[in-house]
Structure 1
Amino acid sequence: MRLGVVKQFDEGKSFGFIKDDQNHKSYFVFYTAIKEEGYKRLEVGQRVRYQLAQGKNGLQCVNVYLDEPSDKED
């Protein structure tokens, strides 16, 4: 999976953009690509893991998960 940061997300329009850590390009993300439980939304600056797939207008993010730090304190 790729890693990135949410660059923008418009809840009203249900889409936004994720900036890729590796190539620094921004990719479109639609709320249906978010694989978290409950209300589907992303916050600007949030770290995410995702995959890229070909969409109607180019590459877009799919299978988006919040990137939880592995050294979380319990």
Structure 2
Amino acid sequence: MNQGTVKFFNETKGYGFIKDTQSGQDYFVHVSGLVDEIRENDAVTFDLQEGRKGLNAVNVKLA
């Protein structure tokens, strides 16, 4: 499980980005990868899964 912070999330369009706490990298997150509802600046835990355009955050839960 990785830890990070929700950098941006658009509820209307159902996607956003999570910044990994350790690596500082940003990962794409889609509403289909959420376990809990998230908002910008929420602390979250997540797994990474290979997507069409690189790694995506999945199983995203509030920390």
- Normalised TM-score (structure 2): 0.95
Greater strand share, 1 or 2? 2
The one-letter code matched in structure 1 to 2:29 is V
- Which of structures 1 and 2 has the larger relative contact order (alpha carbons within 8 angstroms, sep 6+)? 2
CA distance in 2, matches of 1:43, 1:10: 9
- RMSD, matched Cα: 0.7
Q: Does 1:44 align with 2:40?
A: yes
Q: Provide runs of 4+ in structure 1 moved above 3 Å.
A: none
CA distance in 1, matches of 2:38, 2:14: 10
* 1:58 shift after superposition: 0.3
Q: Which blocks of at least 5 consecutive residues in structure 1 are unaligned?
A: 68-74
Q: Which blocks of at least 5 consecutive residues in structure 2 are unaligned?
A: none
The percentage of counterpart residues that share the same residue type is 40
CA distance in 2, matches of 1:24, 1:15: 19
Kindly tell me the number of residue pairs found equivalent between the two proteins.
63
Question: Within 5 A, what are the aligned runs for 1:1-74?
Answer: 1-36=1-36, 41-67=37-63
